[in-house]
Structure 1
């Protein structure tokens, strides 16, 4: 293999990695591997529209002063993902600030940032953030074009807009991934024929397509379920209880924990109380795409000078299986519920490929026979 071919292969692998990371990030509702900023609050470290390498929090390790983190803001600019630098720490959480801002986020409406709010850290080498220039600008322009086309089509057929910028990005990147995979397979077929003495018919092995599609669907789906779940903790201080009307120390009281679904697929959530004395009142619920909900838990209210930690583990499943079935399987073992979701997703992919092209090799082009397009029309006809 020549140096030129090695470089080409490296670029292809890098492109696939970036595409897969962006699709996965959209599915999870949090950055994975790469992300970008849309404002100038982090200039000159990260300019508006520049991308950066984002390391998920469960891989990045402990947060230190000087780290640039991506966290789920509660009130800052209406809430949502924010990329700012950690400039301090208090008992209540981290103090964050945009490099270009004259004041911290906590000088405004945002409370100190807790560990469970941090979803990623920007990769730094020798204290310098690794930046991908204009990544966000390019993605934004393409997404705007997709949104314009989709909006025009929706008007023509009498439907309202159905995609936002995140949704258009997922559609665009998924289509691009599929086209890249198809082009790669066709090029492999060309190279294989060039090494043969006699010309052969141009074919496509749909089994390879199945493998690629299964990977493109199952990898982000399982990441969304496994990484999206986890344990949440809510600390109740006795002083806050004393200041709350209607609650007395020692009473059974109810508190709420926020849960959200930043992805594009509805999720079924199953909850288990982990800390002693914690009772989960809503053991399961369904949260729609881009929606939030509240989980009610009860425990004995602590007295002054005391505190109670309410710890709840969340199991997240894509809602492609009836909730009752998921709950039944979950009660046996969470892996059974996870397996049921994967079986449905994999079955959908297999059914799609079988309906469109069948399994085995199909002819792409043949001067003596029907083209691939004709063959597909015949199948659907």
Structure 2
């Protein structure tokens, strides 16, 4: 009974943090706009909105960016909230974004002693899991094939009846996660008529300049493809547990704010780099399906050779409670 209760508590805690619509949510930042309060790639806990006050860190749906943004409220107005990333040179509204209204606020970042609850490197963990979770799924499937079966079951379900849909789901699900779950890092700049101070997020008008952004490094045995939108990726260099991406910011003809993004795609390194590069150029989904399929196909072949796919599976009650086992 104690073990069962602990299991329910553990599962319930995970559901509380991971399932949509629950009071608490886990998320992580893609850019360095909230440093040093929340580092790039660090996770945080989002709670109910409540009464938003100046100084709160909120998560809101930005229609101009077409994504969720995590920034601090720096002022309250009759129209809504003025927000700013702690590391940004100007407020979001000075950069051309509208005032944040209550209807667009998703939640407030939970804090202890005015400091947010931070989960270091959560973004890197998500990247690894999104890359390798099909291996865990296939391991469970293969293990299930060796569990004792009862051929006299009344309701017969064959092993292959479950195997094929699960394999297809694993391949397609992981491919979509790799293709569309790529971390994106925002870079906000302000063009001025001076020399731009030699670096940072202030850039001079009329000149193309280079800047750098720190992104999560590729997990082991993976290929990393980095793309820029609004900026051009020039170079990628290792920097301990992360990578420094050097980008070129195009020359601006007038003063004001501009933004660029850097996206980082990861694929299992199971095919030659040239092939993966061509597939990624064609479409990230094509590269993801090819790499994941190359990992899954041999495992499925092993299962097909060593497991009797026609053997039936019976769900048999162990007692009057709702505990079940494979027989």
Structure-2-length-normalised TM-score: 0.51
The gaps in structure 2 that reach 5 residues or longer are 1-7, 50-55, 58-72, 74-81, 87-106, 124-128, 314-327
Residue in 2 aligned with 1:255? 211
* Larger relative contact order (CA 8 Å, sep ≥ 6): 2
Higher strand share: 2
Note if 1:54 corresponds to 2:66: no
- Do the aligned partners of residues 241 and 103 (structure 1) sit closer, same or farther apart at CA in structure 2, a change above 3 Å counting? farther
For 2:154 and 2:122, the matched residues in 1 are separated by 53
Residue in 1 aligned with 2:259? 309
RMSD of the TM alignment (CA)? 5.2
Note if 1:269 corresponds to 2:225: yes
- SS of the counterpart of 1:331? helix
| TM-aligned CA deviation for residue 344 of structure 1 | 0.7
- Do the aligned partners of residues 267 and 311 (structure 1) sit closer, same or farther apart at CA in structure 2, a change above 3 Å counting? same
Residue in 2 aligned with 1:146? none
Contact 1:237 1:308 in 2 (8 A): yes
Note if 1:92 corresponds to 2:54: no
| TM-aligned CA deviation for residue 236 of structure 1 | 0.8
Residue in 2 aligned with 1:70? 27
1:292 equivalent among 217, 239, 242:
242
Residue in 2 aligned with 1:349? 299
Q: Deviations over 1:107-139 (max 9, x none)?
A: xxx9xxxxxx998xxxxxxxxxxxxxxxxxxxx
Residue in 1 aligned with 2:152? 193
Contact 1:206 1:360 in 2 (8 A): yes
1:326 equivalent among 273, 276, 289:
276
For 2:85 and 2:24, the matched residues in 1 are separated by 14
For 1:359 and 1:240, the matched residues in 2 are separated by 73
- SS of the counterpart of 1:91? strand
The gaps in structure 1 that reach 5 residues or longer are 1-14, 19-33, 37-50, 61-65, 111-116, 120-165, 197-201, 365-381
Contact 1:268 1:318 in 2 (8 A): no
- Do the aligned partners of residues 261 and 329 (structure 1) sit closer, same or farther apart at CA in structure 2, a change above 3 Å counting? same
Contact 1:241 1:303 in 2 (8 A): no
2:234 equivalent among 281, 285, 293:
281
- SS of the counterpart of 1:229? coil
Residue in 2 aligned with 1:103? 114
Structure-1-length-normalised TM-score: 0.45
- SS of the counterpart of 1:193? coil
Residue in 2 aligned with 1:340? 290
Residue in 1 aligned with 2:45? 83
